[in-house]
């Protein structure tokens, strides 16, 4: 973008001349806030409609302003609009063009400041982003449930400390992420109500002496509660300086990104040669410029990496606000790039992770081989003793001795004889070695939320119903 002398449209009569070229370049925001154009036009049309309602504009003036704004919007949409950095931001670019086409457009800024205008535009923009992201989170859940459902009978080792712990259904592991994403979805939809508040009418700081109908504007723009009642900010100073809604969204996004990063880490491990539990479709992997055999899980790795920028954006916004006095300060211009980047990044990660999972297959033989490790059922053997009346701590100690004996003998736990078990504790009966029947073991895990055969099937059914509805 080339820099030109500042237009008088964006300057008051207080100044004898415009800012220097270096200052103009330093202060412009059109290079990123152009994204708000659609919402700026929506807000302007609603504001103009209200101004006509209270007698500031005639019907003819409103019609001319509305028609011109719609034409400008179409030109922006078609890529034919020339953004001028010397006009600083999206608001002045659109208003200057409007005024050039319709002289009465100069009335549009009556009782409106760029302070409450940008607060409005950001809320309108973020409201749309939240709706889209909520749908994309549902799509990710659908991909997780779909992969789980296709592999409902696959058992893998569950891990703690990245060491084999106990057997779980592969579906149960995936459903853990479905639950995590559900909390993200709940936080996102809850945050929506605090975004969905109309600040227009707050002016620069102290509202207006004109009889504005703020609730009318709120209704025009869909700022209504569940009962259809308009929702407007209740303090003009807070209305122009509040960015809590942006921070809350970035907080929700940061936690969602952390969840995605954890999922990505599991996917990366499962796709490795050492695990070889899954195979990601070629379209969602890349090769090496040197090693022809490589197939890298780049989508998962980039998702894991992009978590850092989403978390960083949250920290940047928190730091930005921490020392600001009331009310609007130019520092707040720095909020948009962080907010825009967070929305674009988290939405991209959610979509790509979902698409990758939809194009992932499971190596059932390798999963079965890993899950057949009888050491995974050591806790079941302790539970067996508990059912025989042995206190758990004692049972835990006995099974520890069984594990030690198996290691000494160079055998798997289920290869020890009943006599060897009885030598360690006479409580072991003829049915003791039956504990190592994996299918039976999985069938017994039927507490709510456990990875048992019936319970996992129930949870899959529950989620399919939720996502369908």
The answer to whether residue 462 scores a pLDDT higher than 70 is yes
The answer to whether residue 73 scores a pLDDT higher than 80 is yes
> Would you kindly state where each structural domain of the chain is located, as residue ranges?
19-110, 116-368, 370-468
Q: Is 274 within 8 Å of 283 (Cβ atoms)?
A: no
Q: Is 446 within 8 Å of 439 (Cβ atoms)?
A: no
Q: Taking the model in full, what pTM does it have? A: 0.94
Tokens of 422: 């009885």
The confidence band for 14, taking pLDDT boundaries of 50, 70 and 90, is low
For 119-165, the pLDDT digits (tens) are: 999 999 999 999 999 999 999 999 999 999 999 999 999 999 999 99
- Smallest CA-to-CA distance from 336 within 91, 43, 70 is with 91
Backbone angles phi, psi at 417, to 5 degrees: -85, 160
Backbone angles phi, psi at 152, to 5 degrees: -65, -25
Q: Dihedral (C-alpha) 153, 156, 160, 163: value to the nearest 10 degrees?
A: 170
Catalytic residue among 2, 161, 273, 289: 161
Q: List the CATH code of the domain at 370-468.
A: 1.10.40.30
The confidence band for 19, taking pLDDT boundaries of 50, 70 and 90, is confident
Distance of CA 420 to the CA centre of its chain: 54
What is the dihedral sign for C-alpha 363, 364, 367, 373? negative
What is the dihedral sign for C-alpha 283, 288, 292, 296? negative
Mean pLDDT, range 260-284, rounded to an integer: 97
Question: DSSP per residue over 395-429, as a string?
Answer: HHHHHHHHHHHHHHHT--GGGS-HHHHHHH-TT--
pLDDT score, position 83: 97
Q: Is 399 within 8 Å of 425 (Cβ atoms)?
A: no
Mean pLDDT, range 238-251, rounded to an integer: 98
pLDDT score, position 11: 54
pLDDT score, position 3: 34
- Calpha distance 42→59 (Å, rounded): 18
The answer to whether residue 78 scores a pLDDT higher than 60 is yes
For 167-199, the pLDDT digits (tens) are: 999 999 999 999 999 999 999 999 999 999 999
Give how far Cα 434 sits from Cα of 155, 253, 385, 401, 414, Å.
18, 47, 13, 19, 9
- Please give the class, per CATH, of domain 19-110: mainly alpha
The answer to whether residue 327 scores a pLDDT higher than 50 is yes
Mean pLDDT, range 38-57, rounded to an integer: 98
Tokens of 241: 């300086």
Based on the residue annotation, tell me whether 161 is a catalytic residue of this protein. yes
Q: Residues with Cβ < 8 Å from 264, sequence gap 6 or more?
A: 300, 301, 303, 304, 353
For 31-44, the pLDDT digits (tens) are: 999 999 999 999 99
Mean pLDDT, range 214-222, rounded to an integer: 98
- Calpha distance 131→449 (Å, rounded): 30
The confidence band for 8, taking pLDDT boundaries of 50, 70 and 90, is very low
Q: Is 100 within 8 Å of 82 (Cβ atoms)?
A: no
Assigned CATH topology for domain 116-368: Fumarase C; Chain A, domain 2 (1.20.200)
Catalytic residue among 31, 272, 288, 361: 288
Alpha helices in 28-113 (DSSP H): 30-33, 37-53, 59-77, 90-101
Average model confidence (pLDDT) across the chain: 95
pLDDT score, position 13: 63
What is the dihedral sign for C-alpha 230, 138, 179, 449? positive
pLDDT score, position 287: 83
For 116, the enclosing helix (H) or strand (E) is: helix 114-150
pLDDT score, position 361: 98
Burial 281-306 (b: 16+ CB within 10 A, else e): eeebbeeeeeeeeeeebbbbbbbbeb
- Calpha distance 195→208 (Å, rounded): 23
Based on the residue annotation, tell me whether 10 is a catalytic residue of this protein. no
The answer to whether residue 12 scores a pLDDT higher than 80 is no
Mean pLDDT, range 355-384, rounded to an integer: 98
The answer to whether residue 10 scores a pLDDT higher than 60 is no
The answer to whether residue 9 scores a pLDDT higher than 60 is no
- Calpha distance 183→176 (Å, rounded): 11
Mean pLDDT, range 109-120, rounded to an integer: 98
The confidence band for 302, taking pLDDT boundaries of 50, 70 and 90, is very high
Mean pLDDT, range 283-289, rounded to an integer: 88
Q: Is 182 within 8 Å of 138 (Cβ atoms)?
A: no
């Amino acid at each position: 973008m080339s820099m030109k002398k500042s237009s008088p449209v964006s300057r008051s009569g207080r100044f004898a001349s415009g800012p220097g070229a270096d200052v103009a370049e330093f202060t412009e925001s059109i290079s990123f806030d152009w994204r708000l154009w659609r919402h700026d036009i929506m807000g302007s049309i609603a504001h103009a409609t209200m101004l006509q309602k209270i007698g500031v504009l005639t019907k003819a003036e409103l019609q001319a302003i509305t028609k011109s704004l719609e034409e400008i919007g179409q030109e922006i949409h078609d890529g034919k609009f020339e953004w001028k950095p010397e006009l600083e931001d999206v608001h002045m670019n659109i208003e200057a063009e409007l005024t050039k086409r319709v002289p009465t457009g100069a009335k549009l800024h009556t009782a409106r400041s760029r302070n409450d205008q940008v607060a409005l535009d950001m809320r309108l923009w973020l409201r749309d982003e939240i709706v889209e992201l909520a749908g994309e989170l549902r799509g990710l859940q659908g991909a997780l449930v779909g992969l789980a459902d296709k592999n409902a009978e696959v058992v893998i080792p569950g891990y703690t400390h990245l060491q084999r712990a106990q057997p779980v259904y592969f579906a149960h592991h995936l459903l853990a992420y479905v639950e995590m994403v559900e909390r993200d979805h709940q936080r996102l939809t809850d945050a929506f109500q605090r975004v969905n508040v109309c600040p227009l009418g707050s002016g620069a700081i102290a509202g207006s002496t004109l009889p504005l109908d703020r609730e009318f504007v709120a209704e025009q723009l869909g700022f209504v509660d569940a009962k259809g009642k308009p929702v407007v900010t209740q303090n003009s100073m807070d209305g122009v300086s509040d960015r809590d809604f942006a921070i809350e969204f970035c907080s929700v996004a940061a936690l969602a990104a952390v969840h995605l990063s954890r999922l990505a880490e599991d996917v990366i491990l499962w796709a490795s040669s050492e695990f070889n539990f899954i195979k990601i479709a070629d379209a969602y992997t890349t090769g090496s410029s040197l090693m022809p055999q490589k197939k890298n899980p780049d989508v998962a790795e980039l998702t894991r990496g992009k978590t850092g920028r989403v978390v960083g954006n949250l920290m940047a916004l928190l730091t930005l606000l921490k020392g600001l006095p009331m009310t609007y300060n130019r520092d707040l211009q720095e909020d948009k790039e962080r907010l825009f980047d967070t929305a674009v990044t988290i939405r991209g990660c959610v979509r790509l992770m979902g698409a990758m999972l939809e194009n992932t297959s499971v190596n059932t033989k390798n999963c079965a081989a890993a899950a057949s490790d009888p050491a995974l059922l050591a806790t079941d053997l302790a539970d067996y003793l508990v059912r025989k009346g042995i206190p758990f701590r004692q049972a835990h100690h006995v099974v520890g001795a069984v594990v030690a004996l198996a290691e000494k003998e160079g055998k798997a736990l289920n290869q020890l004889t009943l006599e060897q078990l009885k030598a360690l504790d006479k409580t072991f009966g003829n049915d003791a070695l039956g504990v190592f029947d994996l299918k039976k073991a999985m069938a017994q895990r039927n507490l709510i939320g456990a990875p048992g055969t019936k319970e996992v099937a129930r949870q899959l059914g529950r989620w399919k119903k939720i996502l369908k509805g």
